[in-house]
Amino acid sequence: MFPAGALLSWGLLTVAVVPASLGEMYTSLLNVKQAIGVERKLIGYLRTYIDHESERLDDIKRFHAKVSDLHTEVYRGPAAAMANPLLAFTLIKRMHSEWLNVVYSNEAQENAQALRSGYEKEEGDLPKLEDLQGAAKALMRLQDVYALQVASLVRGRFQRVTDGKSIDVYLPAVSVPLSGDDCFQVGKVAYEQEDYYHSVQWLEESVRLFRGTGGVWSPENEGTLEDALDHLAFSHFKTGNVSHALSLSQELLHYDPENGRVLQNVEKYEKLLVSSSPESIRANELRRPTSNHLRTRDTYEMLCRTQGSQQPLQFENPRLFCDYFTNGNPQLLLLPVRREVLSVQPYVVLYHNFITDKEAEDIKRTSHPGLKRSVVAAGEKQATAEYRISKSAWLKGSSHSTVGKLDNKISVLTGLNVKHPYGEHLQVVNYGIGGHYEPHFDHATLPSSPVFKLKTGNRVATFMIYLSTVEAGGSTAFIYANFSVPVVEKAAIFWWNLHRNGQGDADTLHAGCPVLIGDKWVANKWIHEHGQEFQRRCSLNPEE
């Protein structure tokens, strides 16, 4: 009775999804950049095809002109001309073989086959269905977290409404508008997840844009105006807006009047409207569903949007300060580090200019071959998750001299023993499209956590290095402490995960906000309890 996709989408989706190892391009901006090189090759194949096809079309035009001239000048002439055996022969030959060769041109097939062969050569490096779905989910994530208007995104702008006015969250140098088919693909991904809050908004834009073209289909499009109307009508029905579902279904019938399923839907919607009270059939306001898995969603998103704001009283806290820090170490006496104390509880510090441009590039380049989809703890094992979108690689101290230098710098600044196994290997992370890491703890909260595999205790501290900057988004938000830290290129952020009594500090619940614009790279160094007995002594107060 409802759109075929409503019944078949999950089955089709299950069959079409490729193994994770082949996809996941959307989880790392590095892979997206590499895709540009692949498309450049495809453009070359297409250019060759166009050149060859242009030559073939010139031949066809010449054939068309020759035959047209014959019909204009010769075949309309005196009957004696028709008796000419040469004319008769060429007519018969042309009708027998020349038209056949033009209509079923071997050259056309060869040109098309060459283009297909070139495409198939690059096929292994092309995005998979999973990547398209992941990129669509990323747009919806950015829409939600940064309260972006879908209509603005469609125009290539990043805007939100504040006090009734559209405000630019970020103004791109180049605006890339979306097509009706682009919007249809995003809406379809939401639709197939039964996420009708998002499908309604994106499919509304799709229908508007398709209508604007007069419903004219383009060869690169997967969807049509009829497809968008079909999915949008059912989405409205599922959100309780039956009257809108009815009007859209009736519009669809203009294009496909014999569609039995849509006719049944129209009949059902009309009966529902007749049997319902006037109050119940009023257009329902579209509301974002509540989150079952993310209880701190509102605080998290507010901190991501404000990018660095804290409670006003915290700015007046005299315990927050900036200084030149040596940690009493001779190595820093001549060149102290610029330290900014961001929070006292939890203790969070930002070290400016911790890493050089060359060191950052060394670390990123060395990590490229080992980048894999980032995982999270799932009981005693680790697994990928939608709430962490990135790729990561682990670098041992022997992988590059810069890794050893960074270990030494971290040890000098913190006074901690960071050598393996007291410190984990350096984890390098590249975030993907809308890449994020929802609120989480770095320290283990369960005895079965993989963190304890090193047998050196829990993660006592985190040292995170910003290897790049971003244009917008990507802040580190501390949820319960109620502040966020924007990405500061070449800086490093440090905090204690555990109290001195060994218990986890709940105030270190933090998140990596979605990257709105930019290519975010970080390197994490997690330091464990064992090996720090004389560097960070336990307190005599068991409450500390």
Per-residue 3-state assignment (H helix, E strand, C coil) for 20-86: HHHCCHHHCHHHHHHHHHHHHHHHHHHHHHHHHHHHHHHHHHHHHHHHHHHHHHHCCCCHHHHCCHH
Q: Which two tokens stand for residue 286?
A: 């579209």
User: Can you tell me the mean pLDDT for 71-94?
Assistant: 76
Query: Is residue 487 scored above 80 in pLDDT?
Result: yes
Determine whether 169 is exposed, middle or buried from the number of CB atoms within 10 Å of its CB (0-12, 13-18, 19+): buried
How high is the pLDDT of residue 364? 97
**pLDDT > 90: percent of the chain:** 72
Query: Is residue 67 scored above 60 in pLDDT?
Result: yes
Say which CATH superfamily domain 129-275 falls into.
Tetratricopeptide repeat domain (1.25.40.10)
3-state secondary structure 383-404: ECECCECEEEEEECCCCCHHHH
Query: Is residue 9 scored above 70 in pLDDT?
Result: no
How high is the pLDDT of residue 528? 97
User: Can you tell me the mean pLDDT for 3-22?
Assistant: 38
pLDDT digits (tens, 9 = 90+) for 154-208: 999 999 998 889 999 998 888 889 999 999 999 999 999 999 999 999 999 999 9
Q: Decide if 114 contacts 48 (C-beta within 8 A).
A: yes
Phi, psi values for residue 395, rounded to 5° = -115, 120
Alpha-carbon torsion (411, 415, 419, 421), positive or negative: negative
Query: Is residue 409 scored above 90 in pLDDT?
Result: yes
Domain boundaries, the chain: 25-125, 129-275, 296-528
pLDDT digits (tens, 9 = 90+) for 298-311: 999 999 998 655 55
Query: Is residue 276 scored above 80 in pLDDT?
Result: no
How high is the pLDDT of residue 215? 73
pLDDT digits (tens, 9 = 90+) for 460-483: 999 999 999 999 999 999 999 999
Query: Is residue 22 scored above 70 in pLDDT?
Result: no
Calpha distance 520→349 (Å, rounded): 20
Query: Is residue 496 scored above 90 in pLDDT?
Result: yes
How high is the pLDDT of residue 292? 74
User: Can you tell me the mean pLDDT for 408-433?
Assistant: 96
User: Can you tell me the mean pLDDT for 55-63?
Assistant: 92
How high is the pLDDT of residue 8? 36
Q: Decide if 317 contacts 344 (C-beta within 8 A).
A: yes
Calpha distance 42→119 (Å, rounded): 6
User: Can you tell me the mean pLDDT for 105-124?
Assistant: 93
User: Could you tell me the pTM of the whole model?
Assistant: 0.86
Architecture of domain 296-528: Sandwich (2.60)
DSSP helix/strand/coil, 465: strand
Q: Decide if 412 contacts 331 (C-beta within 8 A).
A: yes
Calpha distance 31→291 (Å, rounded): 30
Calpha distance 154→170 (Å, rounded): 14
User: Can you tell me the mean pLDDT for 230-246?
Assistant: 95
Bigger pLDDT: 290 vs 314: 290
How high is the pLDDT of residue 482? 92
Task: Look up residue 265 and give its amino acid.
Answer: N
Mean pLDDT value across the chain = 89
Bigger pLDDT: 94 vs 462: 462
